[in-house]
């Protein structure tokens, strides 16, 4: 079950605030500790108005700056710098902090002012994916026919599907009252089997601004009238440019009268019209040109007892003021209780909250984006800090990654290398790494102890003590021995060293876990909305059937370690009994070994990749298989196939490939690519720390 939902408009002024208010009311009525979050805010003088409204009405805990990801200005900077993924990560980090303190979080999407409209809706879908929340899109219905509304929902459904989003429900807002029932019937008939569609009728009070909103947005001065009268809604605007006798013929109920401040006749006539039984009531008077009424008129106004008409004054001329007023639409302000009540009434009358709650309870939570996965890695590593040794202590990428690890309290690290060289690099890069020890293996007091241990481990291979002592000057061997003897919990290397230079010491010193015949590797393949495990793509060129079985079992355990339910596909060029040949038989035998050794695991093989991932193909080729169409762990028959496939998927699907993650060792050692980035290093260190958390302690 997800812990939140994401409400977003599909175009500007969809009216999502009304829906947000209704959902928050539902949650508060059930006693759930609800939170509110906005990925992007557009702060005014008093902060974000929607955050202010929701936090004040529902007495939410926490400061306002904990309820949003970033400002619209920060968004523009991220986009201008080509750092969109950094933007998503930043917002996700803040959201997760709030989510941890709440039973449920309602997110309100952007207001379509920071980005291009097409990109902004896509941004909201992507943001919902990264936050792990289903969508409640709000479609604007005013000015549209029922046919146009239906087409808008179709386009919406396709857009969300293309970006792998999930729609919980759709709300169509501001539909003409006379069309509301027909629109709802038609939309339910077309989309009811996919998601519920709720249709909200138009309501004048919600669409029109109040006098108070005009005053706030135009920075107007209140020169007469009660503060309470600022709640009056404005139904139309009247520019008074003619004589009073003619002007009075045009006054309508709820008019805001716009007139120069020296038109005493219009001011007095409007006030009289408001209290007259023969004329409609007006909403207020807006004086332009920074002109105040004559002193006699002001004295008259101050003596009026019956009139509560607010009179405002602005600096702009009449034409400019009229244009400014016309551009203002109604908003949900915290102080306007009438609008709040109207909004709640509309939502409660037209949204089936029972149905919505039920859908929230059963909503799929299996979606996980690369950013979500990386975030969870960091959080899990932080819960039980481990000590990781990094043999390549003078590499710039390693040093930058170390600073991130320190700033986020992910793990303790030790660097290996020349301390003077490392210190110069750190100073030159402007990094703060004074807390991190740097050890030179050649001069370390541990070298003798490590050499003794290595000699005892390898003397049966003809290694002399002097050879062992010389080997311990190598950073990879020294780091591996630190892990072996408990001076560190894991090791990460490979930014400067080859895979063989990284893992050979582990083969010789740490060795494989009991019951495992082979050290292998997996890549954690983070696709748009899920994570797969690919093995072995980095270590073993052509494993035997027994080795394939061990790789499959180890890969399943690795998957569980990272909260991926293992459905193992033993891949081949044929599916089931359709193919023959040595390669297929090797995979078939490996599958049988897995089933015999681990009957608790779900495994299928031989199986082709399409049948493993595509439910339609699986239904045709292996209709009775629990794995076909649902595979999460993919075991390739050889290194050539695995390595090429992971790289093809990485490039073609724009997937994030984390790894290789080594498995089968008694203690964790992991290899980096020599082309790794700083985030790659941070992720791999976090993975190594998690492996150290979950591996059972073994004697060296």
Report the pLDDT averaged over residues 417-436: 87
pLDDT tens, position by position, 47-104: 788 888 888 888 888 888 889 999 888 888 888 888 888 888 889 989 998 998 888 8
Query: Alpha-carbon distance 392 to 676, whole Å?
Result: 13
Can you tell me whether residue 635 is helix, strand or coil? strand
% of the chain surpassing 90 pLDDT: 34
Characterize the bridge pairing of strands 255-260 and 282-288. parallel
For residues 202-226, average pLDDT: 78
Give the CA dihedral 59, 61, 65, 69, nearest 10 degrees: -100
Residue whose C-alpha is closest to residue 141's, from 132, 151, 133: 151
Query: Spelled out in words, what is the top-level CATH class assigned to the domain 369-511+667-700?
Result: alpha beta
H/E segment holding residue 662: strand 656-663
Residue 699 pLDDT level (bands cut at 50, 70, 90): very low
The H-or-E segment that residue 342 falls in is helix 337-350
CA dihedral (256, 260, 264, 265) in degrees, to 10, reads -60
Q: Does domain 4-206+339-362 have CATH number 3.20.20.140?
A: no
Nearest to 661 by CA among 671, 674, 676: 671
pLDDT of residue 597: 93
Q: CA nearest 379: which of 371, 387, 390?
A: 371
Average pLDDT over every residue of 466-484: 94
- pLDDT > 80? residue 367: no
Q: Give mean pLDDT, residues 459-469.
A: 90
Cα 667 from Cα 117, distance rounded (Å):
51
Q: Distances in Å between the alpha carbon of 479 and those of 257, 392, 483, 689?
A: 80, 10, 7, 15
Could you give the 3-state DSSP secondary structure of residue 7? Answer: strand
Q: 524 forms bridges with which residues in the sheet?
A: 533, 658
Q: What mean pLDDT comes out for the span 482-509?
A: 92
Q: Work out whether the CA dihedral 431, 434, 435, 436 comes out positive or negative.
A: positive
Give the DSSP H or E segment for 280: none
Residues paired with 415 in a beta bridge:
390, 438
Q: Which of 61, 54, 68, 47 is nearest to 22 (CA)?
A: 54
Sheet containing 255-260, strands listed edge to edge, beginning at the edge strand earlier in sequence: 221-224, 311-313, 282-288, 255-260, 236-239
- Give the 3-state secondary structure of 416-453: ECCHHHHHHHHHHHCCCCCCCCEECHHHCCCHHHHHHH
Please confirm whether the linkage preceding 536 is cis (ω < 30° from 0): yes
CA–CA separation, 563 and 692 (whole Å):
16
Q: What is the mean pLDDT of residues 681-699?
A: 83
Q: Give the fold, CATH level 3, of 515-664.
A: Rossmann fold (3.40.50)
Residues of the chain with CATH 3.40.1390.20: 210-328
Contact between 451 and 513 (Cβ < 8 Å): no
- pTM score: 0.64
CATH fold of 210-328: 3.40.1390
Identify the pLDDT of residue 307: 58
CB 61 within 8 A of CB 99: no
More confident residue, 596 or 230: 596
The C-alpha atoms of residue 561 and residue 695 are separated, in whole angstroms, by: 10
DSSP code at position 203:
-
Per the listing, tokens 């812990």 go with 3
Instruction: Give the full edge-to-edge strand order of the sheet including 531-535.
Output: 602-607, 567-571, 633-635, 531-535, 520-526, 656-663
Ramachandran class of 219: left when φ > 0, alpha when ψ lies in -120 to 50, beta otherwise:
left
> Rounded mean pLDDT of 658-665?
88
* Average pLDDT of span 623-648: 93
User: Residue with structure tokens 């015949």?
Assistant: 517
* Beta strands across the sheet bearing 490-493: 438-439, 412-416, 387-390, 490-493, 669-671
**Please, are residues 229 and 256 in contact by the beta-carbon 8 Å criterion?**
no
| Bond preceding residue 199 cis, omega within 30 of 0 | no
Which is nearest to 146 in space by CA: 184, 117, 114, 108? Answer: 184
For helices 419-429 and 396-407, the axis angle rounded to 10 degrees is 70
Closest CA to 507 of 684, 687, 671: 671
Residue-wise pLDDT tens digits, 502-533: 889 998 999 888 878 788 999 999 887 789 99
End-to-end CA distance of the chain: 42
User: What's the whole-number mean pLDDT along residues 648-664?
Assistant: 88
Q: Return the minimum-mean-pLDDT range out of 148-157, 426-435, 484-493, 522-531.
A: 426-435
Within 8 A by CB and 6+ apart from 30, the residues are: 357
What mean pLDDT comes out for the span 143-162?
89
Q: CATH 3.40.50.10950 in the chain, residues?
A: 369-511+667-700
Structure confidence by residue, pLDDT tens digits, 586-623: 999 999 999 999 999 999 989 999 999 998 898 888 88
> At residue 681, does pLDDT exceed 70?
yes
HSE value, Cβ hemisphere, 13 Å, CA-based, for 361 = 7
């Amino acid at each position: 079950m997800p812990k939140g939902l994401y409400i977003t408009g599909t175009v500007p002024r969809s009216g999502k605030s009304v829906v947000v208010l209704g959902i928050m009311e539902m949650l508060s009525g059930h006693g759930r500790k609800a939170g509110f979050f906005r990925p992007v805010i557009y702060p005014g003088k008093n902060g974000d108005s929607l955050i202010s409204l929701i936090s004040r009405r529902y007495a939410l805990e926490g400061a306002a700056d904990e309820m949003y990801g970033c400002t619209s200005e920060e968004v523009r900077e991220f986009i201008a710098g080509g750092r969109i993924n950094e933007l998503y990560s930043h917002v996700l980090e803040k959201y997760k902090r709030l989510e941890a303190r709440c039973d449920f979080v309602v997110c309100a999407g952007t207001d379509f002012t920071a980005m291009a409209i097409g990109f902004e809706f896509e941004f909201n879908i992507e943001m919902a994916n990264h936050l792990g929340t289903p969508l409640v899109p709000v479609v604007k219905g005013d000015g549209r026919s029922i046919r146009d509304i239906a087409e808008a929902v179709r386009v919406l459904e396709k857009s969300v599907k293309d970006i792998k989003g999930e729609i919980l429900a759709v709300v169509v807002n501001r539909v003409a009252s006379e069309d509301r029932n027909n629109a709802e019937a038609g939309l339910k008939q077309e989309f009811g089997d996919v998601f519920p569609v709720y249709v909200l009728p138009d309501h004048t009070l919600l669409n029109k601004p109040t006098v108070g909103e005009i005053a706030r947005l135009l920075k107007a001065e209140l020169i007469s009238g009660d503060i309470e009268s600022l709640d009056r809604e404005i139904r139309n605007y009247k520019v008074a440019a003619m004589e009073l006798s003619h002007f009075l013929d045009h006054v309508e109920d709820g008019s805001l009268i716009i007139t120069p401040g020296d038109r005493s006749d219009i001011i007095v006539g409007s006030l009289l019209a408001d209290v007259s039984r023969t004329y409609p009531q007006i909403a207020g008077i807006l004086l332009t040109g920074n002109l105040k009424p004559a002193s006699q008129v002001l004295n008259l106004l101050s003596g009026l007892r019956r009139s509560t008409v607010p009179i405002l004054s602005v600096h702009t001329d009449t034409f400019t003021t009229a244009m400014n007023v016309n551009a203002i639409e109604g908003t949900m302000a915290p102080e306007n209780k009438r609008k709040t009540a109207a909004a709640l009434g509309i939502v409660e009358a037209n949204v089936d909250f029972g149905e919505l709650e039920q859908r929230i309870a059963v909503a799929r939570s299996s979606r996980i984006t690369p950013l979500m996965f990386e975030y969870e890695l960091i959080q899990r590593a932080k819960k039980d800090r481990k000590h990781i040794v990094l043999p390549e202590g003078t590499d710039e990428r390693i040093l930058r990654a170390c600073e991130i690890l320190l700033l986020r309290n992910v793990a303790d690290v030790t660097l290996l290398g020349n301390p003077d060289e490392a210190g110069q690099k750190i100073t030159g890069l402007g990094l703060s790494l004074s807390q991190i020890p740097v050890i030179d293996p050649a001069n370390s007091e541990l070298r003798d102890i490590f050499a003794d241990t290595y000699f005892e481990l390898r003397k049966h291979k003809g290694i002399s003590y002097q050879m062992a002592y010389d080997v311990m000057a190598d950073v990879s061997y020294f780091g591996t021995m630190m892990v072996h003897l408990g001076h560190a919990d894991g090791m990460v290397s490979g930014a400067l060293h080859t895979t063989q230079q990284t893992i050979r010491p582990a083969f010789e010193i740490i060795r494989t876990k009991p019951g495992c015949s082979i050290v292998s590797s997996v890549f954690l393949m983070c696709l748009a909305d899920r994570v797969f495990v690919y093995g072995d793509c980095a270590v073993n060129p052509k494993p035997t059937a027994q080795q394939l079985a061990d790789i499959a079992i180890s890969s399943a355990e690795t998957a569980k370690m990272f909260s991926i339910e293992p459905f193992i596909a033993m891949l081949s060029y044929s599916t089931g009994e359709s193919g023959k040949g040595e390669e297929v038989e090797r995979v078939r035998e490996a599958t049988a070994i897995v089933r015999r050794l681990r009957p608790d695991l779900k495994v299928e093989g031989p199986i082709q990749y399409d049948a493993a991932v595509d439910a339609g193909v699986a239904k045709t080729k292996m209709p009775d298989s629990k794995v076909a169409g649902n595979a999460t762990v993919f075991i390739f028959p050889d290194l050539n196939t695995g390595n090429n496939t992971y790289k093809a998927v990485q490039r073609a699907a724009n997937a994030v490939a984390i790894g290789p993650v080594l498995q089968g060792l008694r203690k964790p050692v992991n290899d980096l690519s020599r082309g790794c980035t700083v985030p790659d290093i941070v992720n791999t260190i976090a993975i190594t720390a998690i492996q150290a958390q979950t591996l059972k302690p073994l004697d060296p």
